[in-house]
Structure 1
Amino acid sequence: MRNHLLPPFLLLCAGLAGCAETTGFPSLAPRPIEREVLRAEAVPPVPAPAEAAPIPASAEIAEIVARALAADAAFKAELERARPLIEAGRNAPEGSEAWVAGQQAYSAADASSAPVAEALGELDRRREAAADAGDGATEAAITDALVQLQALYEAQRAQLAALMPA
């Protein structure tokens, strides 16, 4: 038995052939008003806004240190909030609610120390760039800031370590 239906491909071609007629459909050619717009002169480009004066390196360093000091204050507040939970969970049986609450509080306190570590990383990248550029004064200023922030970071790590069971 032979199927007398047209194959689907031929049906598709026949259907598309009917779309090829252009009578009754609008043209895709530009309309008269669009031709005028195409011939019009382009609008002159808007001048770029004046760039802000670069912030001196010393001001940037001071801002990074100020952010780290504020983050250290936030760390200390978080640590004081977490301390009772951590201490209660320290001697609780592993897996108990008090133990879980203590672990979560410790993790929150530990996470709150991250901004100081990030500031250390930022200052270290800037010190390296200053060294590569041969800017000894900026490198020295950044090194002083690094020493200050490193002491903050080490104090934070020591405070967290003191909360862990012996």
Structure 2
Amino acid sequence: MRFILLLSLTALAGCTESTGRYPSLLPRPIESTSLAEPERPAVVATPDAALDKRIAEIRGTLAEGIKAFTAGAQDAEAKIAVSRGLPQGSEAWLQAQVAMGSLAELRRPAVSVLSELEELATQRGVDGLPPYPALDAAVAEADQAATQQQNRIDSLEAALGGTGN
């Protein structure tokens, strides 16, 4: 019995013995690992003479389209001014309507150019190529032109809608 008592006390002593090793409250290595995207140097697009030439051609088309649209918008604006105070269906009102219809057609080059430029930019991305600054600038220019033209059409339509009854 004495042996059992001694064995029991030894076993209990093992349970209560302090080793001085408690779990650390310091961050574990996995907790100090960053999950942020690694910094990668920006890839710079190399000059592409063929693409630069294509962008220049497209910008030329855009410039011609802007010039034609501006002339058409001025014509429509003049016809709308003449139709003020006249009833809908009058000759001047019909001419203003026709001029407004031609504006939608004159806006087509800007929209077409924008679509073509965006397609070129998208294809560069699909091919894994970095953005091309000249192409991005041309896209922004075409987008601005198309937006301004639509805004001008909207304001002219509002002015035409305010003419006669």
Identical counterparts, % of pairs: 24
The answer to whether the aligner puts 1:114 opposite 2:103 as a matched pair is no
Is the Cα contact below 8 Å between 1:93 and 1:99 reproduced in 2? yes
Given candidates 126, 130, 141, the residue that maps to 1:136 is 130
Match of 2:97 among 88, 94, 103: 103
2:66 to 68, 72, 76: 72
Shift of 1:72: 0.2
Relative to structure 1, the CA distance from residue 124 to residue 90 in structure 2 (aligned partners, 3 Å threshold; closer, same or farther) is farther
Q: Tell me the residue number matched to 1:125.
A: 119
| 1:146 and 2:108 are equivalent in the alignment | no
> Gaps spanning 5+ residues in structure 2: where?
1-47
The CA distance in 2 between the partners of 1:111 and 1:92, in whole Å, is 26
How many aligned residue pairs are there? 112
CA distance in 2 between counterparts of 1:160 and 1:87 reads 15
- Deviation of residue 90 (structure 1)? 5.1
Distance 1:137 1:163 in 2: 37
The reply to whether residue 82 of structure 1 matches residue 76 of structure 2 is: yes
SS in 2 for 1:56: helix
Q: Deviations over 1:79-116 (max 9, x none)?
A: 22222112333543222222211100111122111101
Q: Which letter maps to 1:92?
A: L
Distance 1:135 1:122 in 2: 18
Q: Normalization by structure 1: what TM-score?
A: 0.60
Which of 1 and 2 has greater Rg?
2
**Structure 1 CA distance, aligned partners of 2:154 and 2:84?**
12
Q: How does 1:39-58 map to 2 (within 5 A)?
A: 56-58=50-52
Q: Which amino acid aligns with 2:99?
A: A
Tell me the C-alpha RMSD between the 2 structures.
2.0
Give the number of the structure with larger relative contact order, counting CA–CA contacts within 8 Å between residues 6 or more apart.
2
Structure 1: gaps spanning 5 or more residues: 1-53
8 Å CA contact 1:87, 1:163 repeated in 2: no
Is the 1:75–1:112 contact (alpha carbons within 8 Å) kept by the matching residues of 2?
yes
SS in 2 for 1:93: coil
